[in-house]
Amino acid sequence: MDMRGDLYVISAPSGTGKTTLCRMLLKQMDRVVFSVSHTTRPPRPGEVDGVDYHFVTKEVFLSMIKQGAFLEWAEVHGHFYGTSKEGVLKQLAEGLDVLLDIDVQGARQVKKSFPEAIMIFILPPTFQELERRLRSRGTEDEASLKVRIGNAKKEVLAAPEYDYILINDVLEEALDNFKSIIKANRHKKERMVALPQVKKILIEAEKAAEER
């Protein structure tokens, strides 16, 4: 029996607050890690290579696809994004819960190759609020903003394909619900019976049953 962590796929339209929620969750919960994706998108001010993304050229990205290095990859808003297989599998084997912040196309690929992945879709309270958040973040020019808002209306249609839906209205409430999902999954019997403490109790109980 292994002590493998859970793989979480987190998707939401750009500007919903998925990065904010994931960052807060990582600060507040132990044994959860974020999988750092590779992208050909240029870094935004304040983004750090190796922390927010591995920023690579299109040539490097294409050669990684050829080598089969990605668990999934997709072209999103005109740039390539992908999840490195090696990094994720290693973290899961260490018993860590791994968060993948990926788009809907990538999420479907992960579910195919990794059916036990737990899928969470985050919705904004309204499209008006989504646009307000994207503008207030101040990272997109008008053209990129239009692309992202147009895509948002297509992306949310995929929400019913996910296992859980969160609404990021009041940040603290959304964070609390996000934590509850992770805590509940940690108590699934498949994970609990792998714990030494639970194993010990079950072995003792089995012995007692045999002696009766």
Q: Which does 5 bind (CB under 5 to 8 A by kind): ligand 5GP, ligand ADP, none?
A: none
Q: What span, in angstroms and rounded, lies between the C-alpha atoms of 10 and 2?
A: 24
C-beta of residue 4 within 8 angstroms of C-beta of residue 93: yes
C-beta of residue 26 within 8 angstroms of C-beta of residue 11: no
Q: Which does 26 bind (CB under 5 to 8 A by kind): ligand 5GP, ligand ADP, none?
A: none
Residues 19-58 that bind ligand ADP (CB under 6 A): 19-20
Give the DSSP H or E segment for 172. helix 171-186
CB neighbours of residue 116 within 10 Å:
9
Out of 83, 91, 124, 191, name the contact with ligand 5GP by CB under 6 A.
Answer: 83
Distances (CA, A) of 97 to 25, 26, 51, 89, 93: 12, 10, 17, 11, 10
Q: Which does 171 bind (CB under 5 to 8 A by kind): ligand 5GP, ligand ADP, none?
A: ligand ADP
Q: Does 91 engage in binding with ligand 5GP (CB under 6 A)?
A: no
C-beta of residue 159 within 8 angstroms of C-beta of residue 123: yes
Residues 165-184 that bind ligand ADP (CB under 6 A): 168, 171
Q: What span, in angstroms and rounded, lies between the C-alpha atoms of 138 and 142?
A: 10
Q: Which does 106 bind (CB under 5 to 8 A by kind): ligand 5GP, ligand ADP, none?
A: ligand 5GP
Residues that bind ligand ADP (CB under 6 A): 12, 14-20, 133, 136-137, 168, 171
Residues that bind ligand 5GP (CB under 6 A): 14, 37, 41, 72, 74, 76-77, 81-83, 101-103, 105-106
